[in-house]
Chain A
């Protein structure tokens, strides 16, 4: 039959998502859009944690927090995309490795 889904399963899922996001950021060498997506993934893993714990503890605060985080994430992404657009306008590409003007 079905195993019942416990908090551990959900936390494992969110951990996997977090690690996927981190690895995506660190190993990705080409695409800024992908980095933004990875960031969203990390935020998502945090959201899953919040929702799960609030579900199992029967506390609505976690749900409310999640909405706030989603809103902030949307705003942050909008800013991120705006930066990427400007970056493209100035440089003609959005390669991460070419964005090294601040190197020592």
Chain B
């Protein structure tokens, strides 16, 4: 039993490696005809798909075994050491697998969604010539993500953190012949570099303060010398700031990058350039939640830095409302869902901000199911519509795609937080915790969250109604070819649909601190979670009421009277433009960061690189060339000249010798 986590973490890696080995199989393309080569390539593809999908499905089964044995079987948290990676005197980094409720929950989320996405991809990617590469990347991602969540120390966590970043880059840019996909991949990577730089500094600070990056050591010292550590200060630009707060803030900035919080969110909507299964797995269910997971994992640290928690709460609330307003006007079905992801991650962060870590993890889990379902449903629509992603060229698809339609309804109901669907339980718990946070400081966050909940319902059902209800608005030729997806695509959506319906009910113990068995620590000074039980009825039911109003409004606007939104847009031109242009964040960054950097880089290239460095190197080469040119004149090639030189040298030499001897 103790080795089950190790096996389930390594399985996706083995699958990916086995898939990668098929590239060593000689193709024989030169000798055989093209048709034979294609057949061979199919065999290789099948092997790669079988190994990767098989290993991840197996990992999912093991993940559920581990999770259920921890939860229902009464198992205790386990910790397996694999090997010592670094041994630098008193500082050691030992890789291993820490399996407590927190990581076991993540195993289940990651492996389950990954398994569904692998199977789904067999159908979705069946026409793609390089689908083998796709599956290998997917499995490698799964491995990196499992490394991240199972890590017993921050070094291994960071390795997984960067590993998922690389796989995300590779998968966003999977269709590398598309320039926009390449640009999006680079954008994701670069924005995450900014965040990771902050995160690295935070980790260094922790290492300097605690002399270790192992969770156990850090939390042990936090418990033992709480007062001394809280008073520790670090000089920063002439000020003395609390070391713990600074480290916590820097790590939060790292988490903001990975989890697409406002300011560092710009890469997530662009990441939709990747294939839809990638969006479902990486950019909805797992990788983007890594930041939430990390903050929950570090809850003993964040509990000592209430000022940072306030920042986390405000950033989360800002992201939730920002992404919700942008989601209202986007036309690309995947971009709407991407902004919805962004917004839901905002909810999770403000749950963390009010110390309701269990609520954040609960929402992370339920969100993984319904958001992956929504993405896979969107993928099914896109697949049926021959890569049409604009919801204004869809409509009336419920007769064509009945099963997808039902799945999208379930996913959207869960997203909007309608009982008894999954999102209701977790989102309500988050909002109640915010409302009841001790001192009431987080009540503004609650109101923002409640408003965002209504917007969530509107944009969530906007895509359902625009795509599936009313009259068809696109090309008739596309509609006549549209068809319900095959079962290899619909099948994997079923477990996720079940999760979207049932996860909230079944996993509701996750919303309590006791369930986590010490994996999460909440200081009794700001125990919002406990207080949330006593939320007044109006605060408890307002979000639900708002969500229902949102759905009704969405029905009215996007199914019944589709010309009203256009009139609204022209009346409210300025808010509409702000929302449509995503609050002009990209434009601001372009103006403030990208263009100055380009100008500076161009200047450096022209004057420093070309004229300075190249000038130096080319100058040296030119000087050598000129000197050689001058010296070659002395080599006439005439024997007589050489002989004369020799004689003269002899005469002069002998003369000098004689002069020396005589003198």
Contact = CB atoms under 8 A, between A and B. Distances in A.
Nearest to A29: B640
B663 interface: no
A103 B643 contact: no
Interface stretch (B395-403, B464-472, B628-636): B628-636
Contacts of B82: none
Contacts of B634: 104
Interface stretch (A52-60, A63-71, A72-80, A93-101): A93-101
A99 B640 contact: no
Interface residues of B, number: 13
A26 B635 contact: no
A37 B593 CA distance: 83
List the 5 closest pairs (A to B, CB-CB), nearest first.
A104-B632, A103-B637, A100-B637, A104-B635, A25-B643
A26 B631 contact: no
19 contacts: A22-B647, A25-B640, A25-B643, A26-B640, A26-B643, A26-B644, A26-B647, A27-B640, A29-B640, A96-B638, A96-B640, A99-B637, A99-B639, A100-B636, A103-B637, A103-B638, A104-B635, A104-B636, A104-B637
Contacts of B637: 99-104
B115 to A, nearest CB: 75
Given A22-B647, A26-B644, A26-B647, A103 B636 contact: yes
Nearest to B639: A96
B617 to A, nearest CB: 25
A103 B631 CA distance: 11
Contacts of A101: 637
A61 to B, nearest CB: 23
B232 to A, nearest CB: 73
Contacts of A97: 638
Interface of A: 22, 25-29, 35, 96-97, 99-104
Nearest to B644: A26
A35 B639 contact: yes
B635 A102 contact: yes
Contacts of A102: 635, 637
Contacts of B647: 22, 25-26
Given A25-B643, A26-B640, A100-B638, 18 more contacts: A22-B647, A25-B640, A25-B647, A26-B644, A26-B647, A27-B640, A29-B640, A96-B639, A96-B640, A99-B637, A99-B639, A100-B636, A100-B637, A101-B637, A102-B635, A102-B637, A103-B635, A103-B637
B653 to A, nearest CB: 14
Contacts of B639: 35, 96, 99
A103 B636 CA distance: 4
A25 B647 CA distance: 10
Interface string B42-71: 000000000000000000000000000000
Contacts of B632: 104
Q: Which of B631, B640, B644 has the most CB of A within 10 A?
A: B640
Interface in B621-663: 631-640, 643-644, 647
A103 B643 CA distance: 15
A23 B637 CA distance: 19
A29 B632 CA distance: 22
Nearest to A104: B632
A77 B640 CA distance: 19
Nearest to A38: B643
